[in-house]
A and B are shown apart, each in its own frame.
Chain A
Amino acid sequence: MSSSAPATLALPRILGPIRPRPRWREARLLAVVAVTILVGSISLSLAQRAPDAPSGGLEPAEPFHLTVYLGVLLLAHLAQVMAGRRTDQVLLPAVGLLGGISLLLMERLPQNLVVQTVGKTDLGLADVQLVWLVLSIGLATTLAIVVRSDRWLRLYKYTWAAAGVGLLLLTFVLGTEINGQRLTLSFGPVSGQPSELLKVILVVFLAGYLSENRSLLVEQSTRIGPISLPPVPYLAPMVAMWAIALGIVVVQRDLGAALLFFAVFLLLLYTATGRAGYVVLGLILFIVGAFVMYQLVDHVRTRVDIWLDPFADPSGAGYQVVQSLYAFARGGLLGTGLGAGLPLISGRLPIPAIQTDFPLAALGEELGLVGIMAILGIYLVVIERGLRIGAAARDDFRALLASGLALVVGVQAFIIAAGNLKLIPLTGITLPFISYGGSSLLVNGIVVGLLLALSDKGVEPPPPPRQPGRLARLARRAG
């Protein structure tokens, strides 16, 4: 479809000469992370010990899990040292700490929340989560080392977009309905949530589209009264994005993904153009859409009503949110300590879906406000590193790609955390790196891997910029 420069797909050069380069900063930070997780693990084992048990020595809760996890972090570090890349040294420790907190939380929750049988062994919640964490970190490290060119992302943005839309449609049609939400796609034994992957595809497409059409979006404008609007043809993507988000809400009943996609889209649009007018326009579209959805779609109205007053029906519709707030309140400033919170009521946890949708409430209870602030702080570190990589990138595509990947993590963390805290209506998306779930962890592993690759100062230079306005020209030619 493209007549411009022939697309040469640069294959990764794995077999180059090996020139190790030490990464002292990453090593020091990882040491801090290891100590933190070790202390948390010991604290958890103390809390889980029966009150009348003889006081023994200090030992971690699940030594095997701990060893494997810290070992994988060390391997990821060593692999990057050996590869000799000059990539970011803060991301891996930050994400490693979040993953460690996740592992501790899953060890602390009842193991029978999730049971996977492999061969003859039953794997519990923490076992399965550990497997996903290891795969996620492995994936991130592999991408960080192997990806040396961004052409495969840059050149095929419409292909990616088509793949994304196809994936979405496939979920619409073939998805399995769970809890009234059609989010899961299954092929034989393998199942996953495509919306997690979709967010990365969205960022890749937007980075490509916006970097190519940036100058047009910035310079041209249509004035309607006092408001300066972007040129009408370029409004189309915004409206399309809006429509897709609304479609996700209606068909998939996935408010969280819709909110995430639209918010990331608006933030990236602003990043590319620097024009607040786009954001205002997008917010107006959002308010109109939200209002219409509230009037027309039952589950949207339910969610919003629960948000407005969960205590109106504390044992029915508002149950989850009320229980979440109770958990936060029980935590107070310092928390109850890992493993000492969340009472079981007749053998059941008070918050349903705690491991996927409410990990922050559990952590808020056991680590307190101090712990919540620390966790929010780590997310800010991840966001800041990602945006920094974007700001330092050599061209617009990489800048937008890196920023977009950071925003996907940051905005998603915000949406679910704010939902747990009743700041916004609750939506069922995962807390990145902490929630239980394979799709979420693997995709966030891809995000970290791409960010690390983009931060490499030695990566090949970007291709010369292409002439902007391809879409408009195509449209003109067609019309």
Chain B
Amino acid sequence: MDRRPVSRSIAHVGLALTIAFGVLAGWAGYWQVFRSPDLSNAADNPAVIAAARNVVRGRILDRDGKVLATTKRDANGDPYRVYPERSVSAVIGYSSRQFGTAGLERSYAAQLIGVSDPDPIRNLLKKFEANPSDPQTLTLSLSLALQKAAVKGLGADKGAVVMLDPRTGEVLVLASTPTFDASAIANPATEDQGFAAVKDAASQPLLNRATQGRYVPGSVFKIVTATAALGSGAIDASTTFPNQAKAEQDGLLVDGFRIREHPGVPARTLDLAHATEVSSNIFFALAGLKTGGGALAEYAAKLGFSGDVGFDLPVAASQVTNGSGKQPGGFVDDVELANASYGQAETFVTPFQMALVAATVANGGELMQPHLVTALSGRSGTRTVSPSPLRRVISEGAAAAINAAMVRAVEGTLGRQFTPGAAVPGITTAGKSGTAELGGSGEPHSWFIGFAPANDPQIAIAVLVERGGRGAQRAVPLAGSLLKMYFDTVAK
């Protein structure tokens, strides 16, 4: 009988099990080493929750060292959070024993509690210390003075203001109204009433409108279209469309749908700068059609529309289309593409995203990594977050062309009529207003994005006022006053 000895099969089985256990060890390594940092710092990790109950969290400071979040102790000696400044509620969020965390209190929970050290080696050595927790104090790039002014300027309206330094990506203002009383939620004595007051309120104060609110952009979206059109080479700064003059009067016929111009646009061919100055819908519809849906979606993604820009707070994804169509980029047809090109159709954006668009143009076409936290400091020292480029979106030449067009929209003879009060006296200001029609009755959303000084941009801004009327009515003058305040105070 020709039989293979059993022992050889046994050896094979032993080898197979050895490999299986090797895979198991490797898989353990994946979770315990490779995935360890992000899982250990997850906000619902019991270690983070347990530490949060006893540990005195680090403070949160603005760029000038003003306290935005600190800690007190209740009658039992247990710590709870106090937030002296209501204007930053959307940014800081809250940390409550009962209702968990939100805002930076959530995304930086592990660092504030001190279970995670930014330095991996120290992180490893910490377990040999008697008291391993090292709460970090966060210093933000936020300017409390500007933030307060933004919230005050928005007043009783719902809306958002985002200001950032285009050269570094540092965010100076991230305002969302209405604000809420985070201290009331964090204080164990008032937490139930404090949370009940905002949880189901119709005005949705817990929604951070700057990063999570998605709005029809209207004409401010034309800057995105211009970025895609110039970036893809579909047009250049001097491109004109011969059929534009007639279309301005009779409307532009796209697939049987007639796109109408708003009043105030002269019936002649325009180049990019002049079309931006008068905010021609027809020009940008034609430019968008020439660019194509695929390139428009591609450049929108480069500008950060997916929301995945590594910001310190979660950012909702913006969209150029809902993607239900089969045309390139997900558009249904050319009508949708044409309408999207001047910011109507199925286009929705966050104010934060539009601030990134302005910042990208301002910074010569390169988008910097946006961030709020500039330094983490604890017992073991301070780590600063240095500026880093996220990606180049368009060339410097293309950015310069859009910059020039946006200057015309603020400083030009015709442009001034759309953007009264945006220009900072003595400083060349670039920008674009927007009036987002929502259909039906009611006021449109009022938009402005821009930056200054145009020849050496130091600050970029996006302002949105829900149902604020035409851009010129609410967003534009507010942006102008905030830019002026920036140059009067911060930039000094």
Q: Which residues of A contact B (CB under 8 A)?
A: 51, 214-215, 218-219, 267, 270-274, 314-315, 323, 325-326, 328-334, 336-337, 340, 342-345, 350, 364, 368-369, 372-373, 376, 379-380, 383-384, 387, 390-392, 396, 399-400, 403, 407, 410-411, 414, 417-418, 421-423
Say yes or no: A330 contacts B27, CB within 8 Å: no
Say yes or no: B27 contacts A214, CB within 8 Å: no
Say yes or no: A376 contacts B11, CB within 8 Å: no
Which residue of chain A is the closest to B46 with respect to CB atoms? A350
| Residue in contact with A329 in the complex, picked from B14, B21, B31, CB distance below 8 Å | B31
Once A337-B127, A380-B18 are accepted as A-B contacts, the answer to whether A391 and B46 lie under 8 Å apart by CB is: no
Chain A positions within 8 Å of B492 at CB level: none
| Residue in contact with B13 in the complex, picked from A214, A271, A323, A364, CB distance below 8 Å | A271
Say yes or no: is B491 at the interface (Cβ < 8 Å to chain A).
no
Q: How far is the CB of A465 from chain B (nearest CB, A)?
A: 11
Chain A positions within 8 Å of B130 at CB level: 51
Please choose the segment from B32-40, B282-290, B360-368 that sits at the chain A interface, where 4 or more of its residues have CB less than 8 A away.
B32-40
- Alpha-carbon separation in the docked complex, A218 to B20 (Å): 26
Once A325-B31, A391-B10, A421-B24 are accepted as A-B contacts, the answer to whether A345 and B46 lie under 8 Å apart by CB is: yes
Once A271-B9, A326-B46, A329-B32 are accepted as A-B contacts, the answer to whether A373 and B124 lie under 8 Å apart by CB is: no
- Alpha-carbon separation in the docked complex, A101 to B66 (Å): 52
Which residue of chain A is the closest to B45 with respect to CB atoms? A326
Which residue of chain A is the closest to B30 with respect to CB atoms? A421
Once A331-B32, A345-B49, A372-B32 are accepted as A-B contacts, the answer to whether A272 and B24 lie under 8 Å apart by CB is: no
Q: How far is the CB of A164 from chain B (nearest CB, A)?
A: 23
Chain A positions within 8 Å of B11 at CB level: 387, 391
A-B contact count (CB 8 A): 141
Say yes or no: A368 contacts B32, CB within 8 Å: yes
In the assembled complex, 15 residue pairs joining A and B whose CB atoms fall closer than 8 Å, in A order, are: A267-B16, A272-B6, A314-B44, A332-B36, A334-B127, A343-B49, A343-B51, A383-B17, A391-B6, A392-B7, A396-B6, A403-B13, A414-B21, A421-B31, A422-B31
- Considering only CB atoms and an 8 Å cut-off, how many residues of chain B contact the other chain? 42
Once A326-B45, A387-B10, A399-B6 are accepted as A-B contacts, the answer to whether A364 and B32 lie under 8 Å apart by CB is: yes
- Alpha-carbon separation in the docked complex, A221 to B82 (Å): 79
| Residue in contact with A373 in the complex, picked from B25, B40, B46, CB distance below 8 Å | B25
Q: How far is the CB of B128 from chain A (nearest CB, A)?
A: 9
Say yes or no: A390 contacts B10, CB within 8 Å: yes
Chain B positions within 8 Å of A364 at CB level: 28, 32
Q: How far is the CB of B359 from chain A (nearest CB, A)?
A: 33
Which residue of chain A is the closest to B18 with respect to CB atoms? A380
Say yes or no: A399 contacts B7, CB within 8 Å: yes
Say yes or no: is B12 at the interface (Cβ < 8 Å to chain A).
yes
Q: How far is the CB of A211 from chain B (nearest CB, A)?
A: 9
| Residue in contact with B124 in the complex, picked from A315, A333, A384, CB distance below 8 Å | A333
Say yes or no: A391 contacts B17, CB within 8 Å: no
Which residue of chain A is the closest to B123 with respect to CB atoms? A332
Which residue of chain A is the closest to B32 with respect to CB atoms? A369
Chain B positions within 8 Å of A336 at CB level: 127
Q: How far is the CB of A297 from chain B (nearest CB, A)?
A: 26
Chain B positions within 8 Å of A342 at CB level: 46
Once A332-B36, A345-B49, A373-B25 are accepted as A-B contacts, the answer to whether A326 and B6 lie under 8 Å apart by CB is: no
Q: How far is the CB of A145 from chain B (nearest CB, A)?
A: 26
Q: Which 5 A-B pairs have the closest CB atoms?
A: A329-B39, A343-B50, A391-B7, A350-B46, A369-B32
Say yes or no: is B326 at the interface (Cβ < 8 Å to chain A).
no
- Alpha-carbon separation in the docked complex, A364 to B21 (Å): 15
Chain B positions within 8 Å of A403 at CB level: 6, 10, 13
Chain A positions within 8 Å of B39 at CB level: 325-326, 329-330
Which residue of chain A is the closest to B44 with respect to CB atoms? A314
Say yes or no: B47 contacts A421, CB within 8 Å: no
- Alpha-carbon separation in the docked complex, A302 to B208 (Å): 35
Residue among B6, B12, B124, B130 with max Cβ neighbours from chain A (10 Å): B6
Say yes or no: A376 contacts B21, CB within 8 Å: yes
Q: How far is the CB of B7 from chain A (nearest CB, A)?
A: 4
Tell me the chain B residues, 126-171 only, with Cβ under 8 Å from chain A.
127, 130-131
Once A329-B36, A333-B124, A423-B24 are accepted as A-B contacts, the answer to whether A387 and B31 lie under 8 Å apart by CB is: no
Residue among A337, A340, A368 with max Cβ neighbours from chain B (10 Å): A368
Say yes or no: is B23 at the interface (Cβ < 8 Å to chain A).
yes
Once A372-B28, A387-B13 are accepted as A-B contacts, the answer to whether A330 and B6 lie under 8 Å apart by CB is: no
Once A271-B6, A344-B50 are accepted as A-B contacts, the answer to whether A414 and B32 lie under 8 Å apart by CB is: no
Say yes or no: is B264 at the interface (Cβ < 8 Å to chain A).
no
Which residue of chain A is the closest to B115 with respect to CB atoms? A330
Chain A positions within 8 Å of B33 at CB level: 332-333, 369
Say yes or no: B21 contacts A218, CB within 8 Å: no
Q: How far is the CB of A206 from chain B (nearest CB, A)?
A: 13
| Residue in contact with B46 in the complex, picked from A270, A340, A343, A387, CB distance below 8 Å | A343
| Residue in contact with A418 in the complex, picked from B1, B3, B27, CB distance below 8 Å | B27
Say yes or no: B8 contacts A384, CB within 8 Å: no
Q: How far is the CB of B377 from chain A (nearest CB, A)?
A: 24
Q: How far is the CB of A394 from chain B (nearest CB, A)?
A: 11
Say yes or no: is B323 at the interface (Cβ < 8 Å to chain A).
no
Say yes or no: B40 contacts A376, CB within 8 Å: no
Chain A positions within 8 Å of B12 at CB level: 270, 274
| Residue in contact with B28 in the complex, picked from A315, A373, A384, CB distance below 8 Å | A373
Chain A positions within 8 Å of B245 at CB level: none
Once A326-B46, A331-B32 are accepted as A-B contacts, the answer to whether A270 and B13 lie under 8 Å apart by CB is: yes
Chain A positions within 8 Å of B25 at CB level: 372-373, 376
Chain A positions within 8 Å of B13 at CB level: 267, 270-271, 387, 403, 407
Once A271-B10, A272-B9 are accepted as A-B contacts, the answer to whether A333 and B32 lie under 8 Å apart by CB is: yes
- Alpha-carbon separation in the docked complex, A345 to B27 (Å): 27
- Alpha-carbon separation in the docked complex, A387 to B14 (Å): 7
Say yes or no: is B375 at the interface (Cβ < 8 Å to chain A).
no
Once A391-B11, A399-B6 are accepted as A-B contacts, the answer to whether A330 and B40 lie under 8 Å apart by CB is: yes
Q: How far is the CB of B447 from chain A (nearest CB, A)?
A: 36
Which residue of chain B is the closest to A214 with respect to CB atoms? B3
- Alpha-carbon separation in the docked complex, A423 to B20 (Å): 11
Chain A positions within 8 Å of B18 at CB level: 380
Chain A positions within 8 Å of B17 at CB level: 380, 383, 407, 410-411, 414
Q: How far is the CB of A468 from chain B (nearest CB, A)?
A: 10
Say yes or no: is B379 at the interface (Cβ < 8 Å to chain A).
no
Q: How far is the CB of A48 from chain B (nearest CB, A)?
A: 15
- Alpha-carbon separation in the docked complex, A336 to B36 (Å): 13
| Residue in contact with A323 in the complex, picked from B16, B40, B46, B124, CB distance below 8 Å | B46
- Alpha-carbon separation in the docked complex, A449 to B18 (Å): 23
Say yes or no: A215 contacts B32, CB within 8 Å: no
Residue among B17, B51, B124 with max Cβ neighbours from chain A (10 Å): B17
Which residue of chain A is the closest to B35 with respect to CB atoms? A329
Chain A positions within 8 Å of B8 at CB level: 274
Say yes or no: is B42 at the interface (Cβ < 8 Å to chain A).
yes
